Amino acid sequence: MTTVYKIPRSVLVVIHTPELQVLMMERAGWQGFWQSVTGSLAHESEPLRDAAIREVREETGLDAARYDLRDWGIENRFEIFKKHRSRYAPGVTHNLEHVFSLSVPGPLPVTLDPAEHLGYQWLPWREAAALTISWSNRDAILALPQRLGVSAR
């Protein structure tokens, strides 16, 4: 049997409303860890935009192609949490994450995969940023006003 390892390339999709309410989801298997949509590429040649659309659908039930999905052209390299390294090939310690944002018209209801997330909430952007322990997720949320050209309320 061949072991299939996760690819150390992923997408981060910060889903938000025009008023900068941000969707945050609590990870299953890691109570208290809140994050935006994130996930690894399904295969090496999967386009990043396709991965973002797929991950949004898998994690929220939303169709990202119906809304304003923006590629920020930013990639973050970070150390993979030790508790998750066994999912990657031996010796892989870092991941390269590509950042997107997705603007939806309001705080939409989402359908969570209970194997991935325990719950969700829509929060004002500053509260959402303060909730996550992921520095790359926090930094992306904090950059929303500037990225979108809106005043930071």
CB 107 within 8 A of CB 122: yes
Q: Name which of 6, 3, 24 is nearest 15 in CA terms.
A: 24
Domain assignment present for 3: no
Q: Provide the residue-wise pLDDT of the chain in tens; the chain has 153 residues.
A: 777 889 999 999 999 999 999 999 999 988 899 999 999 999 999 999 999 999 999 999 999 999 999 999 999 999 888 888 999 999 999 999 999 999 999 999 999 989 899 999 999 999 999 999 999 999 999 999 999 888 776
Q: Name which of 112, 141, 136 is nearest 21 in CA terms.
A: 141
The whole-number pLDDT of residue 27 equals: 92
Query: Domain with 52 in it: what CATH number?
Result: 3.90.79.10
Domain that holds residue 45: 9-148
Query: How many domains does the structure of the chain reveal?
Result: 1
Domain assignment present for 107: yes
The whole-number pLDDT of residue 81 equals: 84
Domain assignment present for 96: yes
The whole-number pLDDT of residue 4 equals: 86
DSSP for 72-123, written as a single string: EEEEEEEEPPGGGGGGB-TT--EEEEEEEEEE-SS-------TTTEEEEEEE
Domain assignment present for 1: no
Query: Which of the 8 DSSP states describes residue 66?
Result: G
Sign of CA dihedral 149, 145, 110, 41: positive
CB 101 within 8 A of CB 13: yes
Domain assignment present for 98: yes
CA distance 136 to 99: 9
CA distance 131 to 116: 18
The whole-number pLDDT of residue 148 equals: 86
The whole-number pLDDT of residue 19 equals: 95
The whole-number pLDDT of residue 153 equals: 63
Give burial (CB, 10 Å; 0-12/13-18/19+) of 50.
Answer: middle
Domain assignment present for 102: yes
Residue with tokens 């870092």: 94
Domain assignment present for 86: yes
